[in-house]
Amino acid sequence: MDTGDDGRSAQDMTVDVLAVRAGMTIRNVRAHAARGLLPPPRLQGRTGYYGPEHLARLELITQLQEQGFSLSAIERLVAATPRQSAEEALSQYLHMLAPWAPEPALEMAAAELPGWLGVEVGDETWRALLDAGLVVELEGGRARVPNPGLVRAGAEAVRLGMPATDLIVMREELTTHVGAVTARFVDLFRRTVWAEYVDEGLPADRTQHVRDVVGALQPVAAQALLATFRESMPAAISLFLDEASSDFERGRDPEGTAAADSEE
Write down the domain spans for the chain.
Answer: 15-100, 102-162, 181-246
pLDDT in tens, 173-183: 888 888 888 88
The 10s digit of each residue's pLDDT in 35-50 is 888 888 988 888 899 9
Cβ burial, residue 76 (10 Å; 0-12/13-18/19+)? exposed
User: Does the pLDDT value for residue 4 go beyond 70?
Assistant: no
Lowest mean pLDDT among 116-125, 152-161, 181-190, 242-251: 242-251
The Cα 250–Cα 257 span in angstroms is: 10
- Separation of alpha carbons 4 and 230, rounded Å: 67
**Please, what is the average pLDDT of the chain?**
81
On the question of pLDDT at 157 being above 90, the answer is yes
Using the 8-state DSSP alphabet, how is residue 102 labeled? Answer: P
Q: What is the mean pLDDT of residues 132-149?
A: 92
CATH class for domain 15-100?
A: mainly alpha
Q: If DSSP codes are grouped into helix, strand and coil, which group holds residue 82? A: coil
pLDDT of 252 higher than 60: no
Distance between CA 17 and CA 47 in Å, rounded?
13
Count Cα atoms within 13 angstroms, Cβ side, for 76: 5
Q: Is the pLDDT of residue 84 over 60?
A: no
Query: How large a percentage of the chain has pLDDT more than 70?
Result: 81
Three-class DSSP category at 230: helix
- Residue 264 and residue 251: Cα distance in Å, rounded? 21
Supply the pTM of this predicted model: 0.54
In terms of average pLDDT, the best of 2-6, 128-132, 212-216, 260-264 is 128-132
Average pLDDT estimate for 99-114:
84
Which pairing describes strands 106-109 and 47-49: parallel, antiparallel, or unpaired? unpaired
* Mean per-residue pLDDT, 215-222: 83
C-alpha distances in Å from residue 262, one per residue of 232, 252, 258, 259: 46, 17, 6, 5
Q: How confident is the model at residue 143 (pLDDT cuts 50, 70, 90)?
A: very high
Angle formed by the axes of helices 123-131 and 164-189, nearest 10°: 20
Beta strand 106-109 with 142-145 is antiparallel
Provide the 3-class DSSP secondary structure of residue 9: strand
Share of the chain above pLDDT 90, in %: 26
Average pLDDT over residues 64-88: 73
How much is the average pLDDT of 189-210?
A: 84
Sorting pLDDT into bands at 50, 70 and 90, what band is 16? very high
Of 9-18, 117-126, 128-137, the least confident: 9-18
Report d(CA 54, CA 73) in Å as an integer: 19
Architecture of domain 102-162: Orthogonal Bundle (1.10)
Residue 128: pLDDT over 70: yes
- The pLDDT score that the predictor gives to residue 1 is 47
Neighbours of 225 (CB within 10 A): 15
